[in-house]
């Protein structure tokens, strides 16, 4: 940066901040899905990254069928939500019924991830496919700064979605049942809550949020391919844990921290280091605060 | 009593007592078959797969100690594998070490990292620990990719020398590598069995069963968890060192998250917390993609299905049965009991 | 009972896996393979058939099959039918060296078309050299590749030559001096970027200089931090060392920040996907290629039309290089008059082959010299630059 004026450096930093915020919002959107499922089942859903890739391909497929962009995305949201439910019903619910060890569920989701991602490769091929930029309004100029309108749209939609999810969880009866199931599934079912339905509903929301993330991020980068969920999924997952998995606003904070630090790592250290900066921060935070920034302590009963 | 009897008539019991009865002939036959494999006229390609099965058996034995016996799930064992492979390869390429000292270097480096990674276990439990190990694996990969001066970055390390014993270069063609694999697997297996049957092993198992209760019984759980990490990392590092010399070429992409999940899958498929399961798990999961290459695109789908179905219908793993044989007390405990008994008789 | 069944099933499964594994190579075990089967000549195509770069591997197979079918329609070679066998190396060096072992154990296989990435080719090449199997890579451009052995060929220019051609576009045709470089962190990308930098340093007298160099991970999709840096450093032209999956997103993301930026790529970016993926943003992107499908040459036109008829797409440069590689190998077998490895190798080394990627002659390093066509993207189409 030696050759640049101070003003220019400041501009680069602010620009990178915006790059990082947009990226962070993308991570936050995916992280929410991890958080929802983890909150209720204490399970890392490793198939979430593939579910996200699945949603983007479904949206692309329906757009290709001339349904129009918005209806196509709506259909993909429903379909992806259903995929989440199917995964739970076919593979995870039987494990719960048998009281399997937690690792069994973890491995099942890894297996599911393999299946989904490779089926996508078979049906859609591996190459990168273009996705329409359906919310591009050009650049917004703020004095010396240029802000990409797609970045702004992403931030707004993500925030709206997260507020909506928080409202569902905190204000509706369904949300109350979810929280009850989260605290103690057995007690909740004794109280007349259909916990299996609640878990399925959670998976639906997880899938749907992944689909919304899929549509937004695909629209932002305009690229869709079967492997798209892998790295993004891992980093979003790191973001979820960083913020405190199971806490929705934690996912947002975690996502933003990861996104911005990645952007700055690319600026000051080099782009090829950015992929693991998320994990370095994650480990540091976990060693200092074992449940993440906003995570609730599990009270161990003896 | 009746219940006990029906238990004794089941298949596992028959199998186990059969093995117990003909222990020596079975060991001899197995050893003969294993030693004789090179004379069956397999192609080099097949021999290489068999060696890979051996390497994955070692990896699984290493992870099993941590995950199967101590109950700490690691999603980053590819990291230790890479550290072992890179350290030993670099020692032999840059400093001219021969294979054995280089491999010891790899084992040491992996153990030190195991110690460093084990330290957070002081504070972290369960899922969170797994997450840290996952991050560890990714960070190792990043370091290997970016530390160009030492690791040669994405170009990887080429022409890693083969081990030499008594002036003979071990290769695939003269089956030296195969016998070396057998020796290493045998050593690792014996070490694992000895550890598990020792006081350490019992402490590890108690941590898995109930960490809280183990603490109450006066077991220093932190110390044992870190110890499990270190031993597990050391075994994985050894497998890595051997891998680097077998393949002769390593790059950061040989040690991805997929490798970590593959090792876990071997452990789970074979049967967590068993030694026997590791060999079968490695055999199936390594041979599967090779045997089913004709499935081409679908083979990873089938691989995923295998994991899902295993978890659904036999989560304890294929060979993961509970022993039906009466529990044999360890020798030291038995002696103490005898002593107590005789003393008790005297007191009476 | 259930337990008996599961264990029995498990054992059966493992035995069958072993058997499946053992049975195939055993058909090619030394006893049977020393006498190659009479009626068929096999050519292996090895490349990524699954995974992120599968489209390249599949392109290789398509091209080789098309060439083999054309020969088979005329009675094959040496009176034998040609069979293409494909192998998936997943673009990993480890996998490739395992596949090389598999290929050399099949004595019917005369040669290998493939391995895609330079590093992967170089991991497999020693095995081929030891066992005298010819390897022609349609894509390897790493300078050290063909030096590995006598049986290692390539039908692609060495990267220095191509880098010089790309620089020529940036400095002479576009007349730019402030050059930014964005490269993918792979063996090929790192090497190429270093060579480009070297070449620029040699031309310092012309005023050209590297203002910034950013290395990015392949396939990370978000390049905005790197672009922000390149732009702040005042790049007028950016040389993109990467495949289409780097250039398309970089073009899109860069042109949002600076619509006037000029981009120069390399020949492996030349594929239909670049247009599909890049849309309007890749307008004006230039790069040098050996093969240009829009050529008016009737031979190339006929080839492109037939490929399009068979597979429903336009062949990329690398696919066409694989097509010619297969043709050269078959021609060499024909010229040698036998399937003796040494004779075929010598015939190949001496070949003069006029294919769709131009006249091919191997030099003493088994590399090829080709003339470059400069291509620009205009109105959503590739066009030869004037």
A/B interface, count of CB pairs below 8 Å: 123
Tell me the pTM. 0.83
* Contact: C277, A19; criterion CB under 8 Å: no
Q: Which domain holds residue C284?
A: 160-289
Residues from A contacting C (CB-CB < 8 Å) are 3-4, 8, 11-12, 15-16, 19-20, 22-23, 118, 121, 125-130, 139, 146, 148, 221-223, 225, 227-228, 231, 262-263, 266-267, 270-272, 274-275
In a domain, A285, yes or no: no
Chains near B, with 3+ CB pairs < 8 A? Answer: A, C
Q: Token pair for residue B330?
A: 């360890």
Last residue of a domain, one of C289, C319, C337: C289
SS3 C257: helix
* Contact: B41, C31; criterion CB under 8 Å: yes
Per-residue pLDDT of chain B (348 residues; tens, 9 = 90+): 445 555 555 777 777 778 777 888 888 888 888 888 888 877 778 888 899 999 999 999 999 999 888 888 888 899 999 999 999 999 999 888 888 899 999 999 999 999 988 887 667 777 778 888 888 998 999 889 888 888 888 778 888 888 888 877 787 777 888 999 999 999 999 999 999 988 888 888 888 888 888 888 888 888 888 999 999 999 999 999 999 998 888 888 889 888 888 898 888 888 888 888 899 999 988 887 777 766 666 777 877 888 888 888 887 788 877 766 677 777 777 888 888 888 766 655
Residue listed under structure tokens 């995929």:
A83
Any chain C CB within 8 A of the CB of B154? yes
- Nearest-CA distance B156 → chain C (Å): 8
Please say if the pLDDT value at position A102 is more than 60. yes
Same domain? C256 vs C357: no
- Nearest-CA distance C86 → chain B (Å): 10
**Closest partner CB to B284 (pick from C7, C14, C97):** C14
Length of chain C: 386
- Give all domains of chain B, ordered by start, each with its CATH number: 43-347 (1.10.3470)
What span, in angstroms and rounded, lies between the C-alpha atoms of C313 and C309? 8
**Residue C75 CB burial class (10 angstroms; 0-12, 13-18, ≥19):** exposed
What span, in angstroms and rounded, lies between the C-alpha atoms of C158 and C150? 17
What span, in angstroms and rounded, lies between the C-alpha atoms of C1 and B275? 24
Q: Token pair for residue A166?
A: 């928080």
Nearest CA in chain A to B312: A95
Per the DSSP assignment, residues forming a β-bridge with C47 are C88
Q: Token pair for residue C281?
A: 């943003």
In a domain, A121, yes or no: yes
Please provide residue C214's backbone torsions phi and psi, each rounded to the nearest 5 degrees: -120, 130
Confidence (pLDDT) at C119: 82
Q: pLDDT per residue over C66-106, tens digit each?
A: 999 999 998 888 888 999 999 988 888 878 888 888 898 88
In a domain, A102, yes or no: yes
* Contact: B261, A110; criterion CB under 8 Å: yes
Same domain? C197 vs C318: no
Averaged over A266-294, what is the pLDDT?
81
In a domain, A165, yes or no: yes
Give the per-residue SS3 of chain B: CHHHHHHHCCHHHHHHHHHHHCHHHHHHHHHHHHHHHHHHCCCHHHHHHHHHHHHHHHHHHHHHHHHHHCCCCCCCHHHHHHHHHHHHHHHHHHCCCCHHHHHHHHHHHHHHHHHHHHHHHHCCCHHHHHHHHHHHHHHHHHHHHHCHHHHCHHHCECCCCCCEECCEECCCCCCHHHHHHHHHHHHHHHHHHHHHHCHHHHHHHHHHHCHHHHHHCCCCHHHHHHHHHHHHHHHHHHHHHHHHHHHCCECHHHHCHHHHHHHHHHHHHHCCCCCHHHHHHHHHHHHHHHHCHHHHHHHHHHHHHHHHHHHHHCCCCCCCCCCCCCCCCCHHHHHHHHHHHHHHHHHC
Any chain B CB within 8 A of the CB of C40? no
CA angle, residues B2, B5, B11, in degrees to nearest 5: 140
Q: pLDDT per residue over C301-322, tens digit each?
A: 999 999 999 998 888 888 999 9
Chains near A, with 3+ CB pairs < 8 A? Answer: B, C
**Alpha carbon A137 to chain centroid, angstroms:** 25
Highest mean pLDDT among A163-167, B318-322, C22-26, C269-273: A163-167
Same domain? C209 vs C89: no
* Contact: A241, B128; criterion CB under 8 Å: yes
**Closest partner CB to B297 (pick from C18, C50, C93):** C50
In a domain, A41, yes or no: yes
Any chain A CB within 8 A of the CB of B312? yes
Under 8 Å between Cβ of C52 and A126: yes
Please say if the pLDDT value at position C16 is more than 60. no
Averaged over A159-173, what is the pLDDT?
87
Same domain? C169 vs C276: yes
Q: Which residues contact A144 (CB under 8 A, 6 or more apart)?
A: A11
Q: Token pair for residue B318?
A: 């294929």
Q: Which residues contact C239 (CB under 8 A, 6 or more apart)?
A: C166, C167, C170, C179, C180, C181, C182, C196, C263, C264, C265
| Chain B residues with beta carbon closer than 8 angstroms to that of C4 | 10-11
SS3 C369: coil
The CATH number linked to C43 is: 3.40.50.2300
What span, in angstroms and rounded, lies between the C-alpha atoms of B273 and C164? 59
Nearest CA in chain B to C123: B249
Same domain? C146 vs C167: no
**ipTM here:** 0.83
Please say if the pLDDT value at position A45 is more than 50. yes
Residue listed under structure tokens 């498929």:
B269
* Contact: B158, C122; criterion CB under 8 Å: yes
Same domain? C46 vs C117: yes
| Chain A residues with beta carbon closer than 8 angstroms to that of C215 | 270-272
Residues 47-106 of C with CB under 8 A from B: 49-50, 88, 92-94, 97-98, 101-102, 104-105
Confidence (pLDDT) at C7: 53
* Contact: B268, A103; criterion CB under 8 Å: yes
* Contact: B251, C25; criterion CB under 8 Å: no
Among A144-148, A162-166, B186-190, C107-111, the least confident range = A144-148
* Contact: B287, C98; criterion CB under 8 Å: no
Any chain A CB within 8 A of the CB of B141? yes
What span, in angstroms and rounded, lies between the C-alpha atoms of A183 and A198? 13
Confidence (pLDDT) at C24: 42
Q: pLDDT per residue over C133-166, tens digit each?
A: 999 999 888 888 888 888 999 998 888 888 998 9
Confidence (pLDDT) at C193: 92
* Alpha helices (runs of H) in chain C, residue ranges in sequence order: 2-27, 30-33, 54-73, 93-104, 118-130, 159-168, 187-202, 224-232, 244-257, 272-278, 298-311, 317-336, 341-349
Please provide residue B42's backbone torsions phi and psi, each rounded to the nearest 5 degrees: -75, 155
**Alpha carbon C255 to chain centroid, angstroms:** 29
Residue B74 backbone zone (phi > 0: left; psi -120 to 50: alpha; other: beta) = beta
Last residue of a domain, one of C228, C261, C289: C289
Q: pLDDT per residue over C342-371, tens digit each?
A: 999 999 999 888 888 888 888 888 888 888
Q: Which residues contact B123 (CB under 8 A, 6 or more apart)?
A: A287, A290
In a domain, A144, yes or no: yes
Q: How many independent structural domains does chain A possess?
A: 1
| Chain A residues with beta carbon closer than 8 angstroms to that of B264 | 107, 110
Cα A203 to Cα A83, B215, C278: the distances in Å are 9, 37, 35
Any chain A CB within 8 A of the CB of C301? no
Q: How many independent structural domains does chain C possess?
A: 2
* Contact: B45, C101; criterion CB under 8 Å: yes
Confidence (pLDDT) at B231: 94
Helix (H) or strand (E) run with residue C215 in it: strand C209-216
SS3 A266: helix
**Alpha carbon C359 to chain centroid, angstroms:** 18
* Contact: A276, B139; criterion CB under 8 Å: yes
In a domain, A287, yes or no: no
| Chain C residues with beta carbon closer than 8 angstroms to that of A223 | 221, 245, 248-249, 277
| Chain A residues with beta carbon closer than 8 angstroms to that of B127 | 38, 42, 44, 102
In a domain, C25, yes or no: no
In a domain, C104, yes or no: yes
Any chain C CB within 8 A of the CB of B43? yes
Among C88, C210, C232, pick the best mutation site for testing chain A contact (most A Cβ within 10 A): C232
| Chain C residues with beta carbon closer than 8 angstroms to that of A228 | 221
In a domain, A175, yes or no: yes
Rounded to the nearest 10 degrees, how much is the dihedral formed by the CA atoms of A121, A124, A126, A127?
-170
Length of chain A: 302
Any chain A CB within 8 A of the CB of B101? no
* Contact: C215, A271; criterion CB under 8 Å: yes
Residue listed under structure tokens 């992806």:
A80
* Contact: A241, B131; criterion CB under 8 Å: yes
A/C interface, count of CB pairs below 8 Å: 96
* Contact: C29, B284; criterion CB under 8 Å: no
Please say if the pLDDT value at position C22 is more than 60. no
From the CA atom positions of chain C, what is the Rg in Å?
A: 23
**Closest partner CB to C102 (pick from B45, B154, B300):** B45
Q: pLDDT per residue over C181-195, tens digit each?
A: 999 888 888 889 999
Q: Which residues contact A206 (CB under 8 A, 6 or more apart)?
A: A32, A33, A34, A36, A37, A45, A48, A51, A84
- Mean pLDDT of the residues in chain A: 84
Confidence (pLDDT) at C26: 38
Q: Which domain holds residue A144?
A: 33-232
Nearest CA in chain B to C215: B146
Cβ neighbours, 10 Å, residue B13 = 16
Helix (H) or strand (E) run with residue C203 in it: none
């Amino acid at each position: 940066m030696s050759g640049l004026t101070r003003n220019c450096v400041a501009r680069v930093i602010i620009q990178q901040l915006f790059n990082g915020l947009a990226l962070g919002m993308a991570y936050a959107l995916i992280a929410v899905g991890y958080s929802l499922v983890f909150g209720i089942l204490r399970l890392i859903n490793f198939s979430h990254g593939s579910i996200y890739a699945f949603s983007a391909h479904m949206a692309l497929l329906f757009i290709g069928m001339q349904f129009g962009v918005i209806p196509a995305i709506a259909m993909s949201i429903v379909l992806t939500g259903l995929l989440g439910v199917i995964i739970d019903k076919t593979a995870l619910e039987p494990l719960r019924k048998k009281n399997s060890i937690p690792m069994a569920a973890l491995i099942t989701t890894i297996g599911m991830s393999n299946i989904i991602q490779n089926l996508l490769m078979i049906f859609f091929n591996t190459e990168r496919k273009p996705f329409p930029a359906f919310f591009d309004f050009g650049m917004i100029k703020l004095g010396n700064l240029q802000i990409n309108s797609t970045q702004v749209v992403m931030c707004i939609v993500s925030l709206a979605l997260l507020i909506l999810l928080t409202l569902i969880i905190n204000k509706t009866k369904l949300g109350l049942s979810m929280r009850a199931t989260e605290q103690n599934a057995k007690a909740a079912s004794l109280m007349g809550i259909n916990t299996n339905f609640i878990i399925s509903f959670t998976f639906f929301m997880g899938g749907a949020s992944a689909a919304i993330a899929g549509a937004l991020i695909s629209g932002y980068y305009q690229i869709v391919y079967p492997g798209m969920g892998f790295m993004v999924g891992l980093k979003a997952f790191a973001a979820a844990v960083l913020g405190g998995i199971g806490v929705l606003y934690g996912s947002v904070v975690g996502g933003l921290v990861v996104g911005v630090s990645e952007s700055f790592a690319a600026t000051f250290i080099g782009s090829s280091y950015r992929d693991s900066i998320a994990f370095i921060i994650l480990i540091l935070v976990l060693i200092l605060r074992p449940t993440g920034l906003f995570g609730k302590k599990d009270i161990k009963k003896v | 009593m009746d219940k006990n009897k029906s238990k004794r008539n089941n298949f596992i019991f028959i199998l186990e007592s059969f093995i117990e009865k003909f222990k020596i002939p079975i060991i001899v036959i197995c050893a003969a078959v294993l030693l004789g494999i090179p004379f069956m006229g397999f192609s080099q390609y097949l021999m290489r797969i068999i060696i890979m099965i051996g390497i994955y058996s070692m990896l699984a034995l290493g992870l099993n100690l941590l995950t199967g016996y101590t109950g700490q799930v690691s999603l980053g064992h590819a990291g230790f594998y890479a550290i072992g492979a890179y350290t030993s390869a670099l020692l032999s390429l840059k400093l001219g070490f021969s294979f054995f000292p280089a491999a010891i270097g790899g084992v040491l480096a992996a153990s030190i990292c195991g110690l460093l990674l084990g330290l957070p276990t002081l504070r972290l439990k369960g899922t969170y620990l797994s997450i840290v190990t996952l991050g560890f694996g990714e960070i190792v990969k990043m370091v290997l990719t970016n530390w160009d001066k030492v690791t040669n970055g994405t170009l990887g390390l080429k022409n890693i020398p083969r081990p030499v014993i008594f002036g003979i270069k071990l290769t695939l063609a003269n089956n030296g590598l195969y016998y070396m694999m057998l020796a290493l697997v045998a050593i690792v297996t014996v070490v694992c069995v000895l550890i598990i049957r020792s006081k350490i092993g019992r402490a590890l198992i108690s941590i898995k069963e109930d960490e809280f209760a183990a603490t109450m019984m006066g077991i220093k759980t932190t110390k044992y968890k870190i110890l499990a990490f270190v031993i597990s990392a050391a075994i994985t590092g050894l497998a890595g060192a051997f891998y680097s010399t077998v393949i002769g070429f390593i790059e950061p992409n040989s040690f991805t998250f997929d490798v970590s999940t593959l090792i876990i899958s071997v452990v789970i498929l074979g049967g967590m917390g068993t030694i026997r399961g590791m060999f079968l798990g490695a055999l199936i999961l390594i041979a599967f993609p090779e045997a089913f290459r004709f499935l081409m695109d679908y083979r990873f789908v089938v691989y995923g299905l295998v994991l899902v179905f295993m978890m659904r219908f036999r989560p304890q793993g294929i060979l993961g049965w509970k022993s039906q044989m009466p529990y044999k007390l360890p020798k030291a405990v038995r002696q103490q009991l005898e002593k107590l008994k005789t003393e008790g008789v005297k007191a009476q | 009972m259930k337990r008996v069944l599961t264990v029995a099933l498990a054992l059966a499964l493992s035995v069958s896996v072993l058997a499946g594994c053992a049975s195939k190579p055993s058909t090619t075990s030394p006893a049977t393979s020393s006498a190659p089967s009479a009626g068929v000549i096999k050519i292996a195509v090895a490349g990524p058939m699954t995974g992120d770069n599968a489209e390249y591997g599949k392109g290789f197979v398509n091209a080789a099959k098309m060439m083999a079918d054309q020969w088979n329609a005329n009675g094959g070679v040496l009176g034998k039918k040609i069979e293409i066998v494909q192998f998936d190396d997943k673009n990993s060096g480890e996998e490739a060296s395992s596949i090389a072992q598999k290929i050399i154990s099949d004595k019917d296989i005369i040669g290998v078309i493939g391995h895609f990435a330079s590093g992967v080719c170089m991991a497999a090449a020693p095995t081929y050299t030891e066992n005298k199997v010819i390897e022609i890579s349609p894509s390897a451009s790493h300078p050290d590749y063909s030096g590995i052995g006598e049986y290692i060929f390539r039908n692609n220019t060495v990267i220095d030559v191509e880098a010089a051609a790309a620089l020529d576009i940036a400095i002479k045709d576009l007349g730019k001096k402030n050059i930014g470089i964005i490269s993918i962190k792979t063996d090929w990308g790192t090497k190429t970027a270093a060579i480009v930098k070297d070449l620029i340093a040699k031309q310092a007298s012309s005023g050209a200089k590297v203002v910034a160099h950013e290395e990015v991970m392949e396939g990370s999709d978000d390049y905005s931090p790197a672009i922000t840096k390149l732009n702040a450093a005042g790049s007028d032209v950016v040389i993109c060392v990467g495949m289409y999956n780097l250039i398309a997103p970089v073009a899109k993301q860069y042109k949002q920040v600076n619509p006037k930026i000029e981009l120069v790529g390399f020949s492996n970016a030349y594929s239909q996907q670049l247009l599909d993926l890049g849309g309007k943003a890749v307008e004006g992107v230039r790069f040098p290629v050996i093969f240009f499908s829009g050529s008016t040459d009737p031979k190339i036109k006929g080839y492109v039309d037939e490929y399009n008829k068979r597979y429903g797409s336009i062949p990329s440069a690398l696919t066409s290089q694989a097509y010619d590689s297969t043709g050269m190998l078959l021609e060499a077998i024909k010229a040698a008059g036998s399937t003796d490895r040494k004779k075929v190798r010598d015939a190949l080394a001496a070949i003069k082959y006029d294919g769709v990627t131009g006249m091919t002659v191997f030099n003493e390093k088994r590399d090829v010299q080709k003339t470059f066509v400069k291509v620009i993207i205009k109105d959503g189409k590739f066009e030869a630059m004037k």
